[in-house]
Structure 1
Amino acid sequence: MTSPGPQALRPRLPSPLQSVDDDRFARRGVRLLVKRDDLIHPDLPGNKWRKLAPNLRAAAEAGDRALLTFGGAYSNHLRATAAAGRLLGFRTVGVVRGDELAGAPLNWSLARCAADGMVLHFVDRATYRRARDPAFLAALRDRFGAFRLIPEGGSNALAARGCTELGRELRGRADVVAVACGTGGTLAGLAAGLGPGQRALGVPVLKGGDPHFLHAAVADLQHAAFGGPRGDWSLAADFHFGGYARRTPELDAFADAFEERHGLPVERVYVAKLLFALTALVERGAFPPGSTVAAVVTGTP
């Protein structure tokens, strides 16, 4: 995959793959690897670069100069989009879930977006759910002018195709490749890029009212990107710890101990839940002895 723009956005690919010596896995005869996608780019780490790059190329080729997208108060995707706008000269607008945040001091994540030039537009949660409503999008265009729409999490057909390279980089390297999931775009592309006999495993970090909503989203993305199902993939639910960006003392203690044990930074919204899930699953015997499991590290703390 080539860079979508100037040198400022050039990635480090392929990202490093390193072995982690963890006795909880070793006791079960399972080898743990980590795919350091957090090192791809300092401002657009991991799956954010892989998903945004093809969308940014399409925007540049079409002559679009403004991007509008959606996200929560701690959205990695909003930060990455804002950074891409700064680096490539796009005007950016972020529609933020939660009107209660309007007028309040910005948290560190939204402050970073604003510092990179993103205009933040806060809406209530009911309005936010209208992200695909043509009338709502028309109102946003009336307010902010013409823009290229990038969906929440950056997950669309272009993004799924962009993430196939992640799977290709891991062909023959692991039996199971696991990634934390928000909107499903990375999992859709990862599964498509893996080789025969490999399985992609998604760990949802959101608490959905419908347990099948993410499965349907991934299937729809694969249909849009590739014309139908691609690869072997599944979801490991029940590791969301209450929902997006929610944390518990148990999760924090696990992440702190993993960092201390292995000297690896553990991002809390996605990566901590991924690593916790894999550790719980290996201790339940979910992976046969002799297996190699790779965890994709998609973000930085």
Structure 2
Amino acid sequence: MLALHPDHVYVHADLTSAGLSQGSITQLVRSGGILRARRDTYLHPASSVAGVTAARSGGRVACTSLLAEYGVFVLEKRTVHVQVPSHATRLRPPTGVRLHWAPLHRAPSPRSLRVEIFDALLQSVICQSPRAAVATLDSALHLGVIDEDGLDELFRLVPRRRRALRALVDGQCESGPETFVRLLLRALGLRFQCQVWIDGVGRVDFVVEGWLVIECDSRAHHGGWEAQVADRRRDLALAALGYASIRPIAADIFADTPALGRVIIGMLQRLGPRTDSSPARPAPRARLRSARA
């Protein structure tokens, strides 16, 4: 019996060469032991939704859909991105599917349901907004999915209008919302530090102008009452050390970043400047970065 892999696609000949008769194949499809995606295309029943969609479209999981499967941050996950052969330009995608025809730079395994991650990252830079693209690359670099040399190669291949984004990628931020805030602070011309350790508090996402702490909250990491209690106690500990803190939620950061900028500027104008005598220092295993526009 052929041992199917959830990330691979199979044809009828693969199954028969493994000793399955047509009757056995039919029975396995009916019982759910094999998934028939389209004519002469079979999958493991545990293949991802994006993988099944790609197989039914005659292609491979690509771009942000593939990156999301690796845990890399992408801003929008509802659309399934599928790489199809360059000659399939007349193919019309179903609702919720975006097709990619451009030739790949890394050849995936013939059976693979996925493009290589380098091509997915390259596609994501072209396919997303500039800020979202930087957040995706920050995430990929932070997770070790790509290294600096790989980024340099990637940016030699992107359209010229996107090459300036290379200077904005540094891999310090651990989440998409953090990257959006980092880019905002940079655009505002403010002094800030990323991933800072404060004695008695722990690591915080940002310290702006020496005294304003910004923590980027999301449901994934700040849900539940116990997490809420811990956050409130951190805020009190920060206040005792002379810091002010704000906690914008991810949805608001993405939906209206300029509004967050107005909040930050308003606080700095009303409550600052202050003398920076804080015990803040770079968080362990994290680099310190100050930036101005």
TM-score range, shorter chain: under 0.3
Instruction: State the TM-score, normalized to the length of structure 2.
Output: 0.28
Please say which structure displays the higher CA radius of gyration: 2
TM-score normalised by structure 1 residue count = 0.27
Q: Which of 1 and 2 has higher RCO (CA within 8 Å, sep 6+)? A: 1
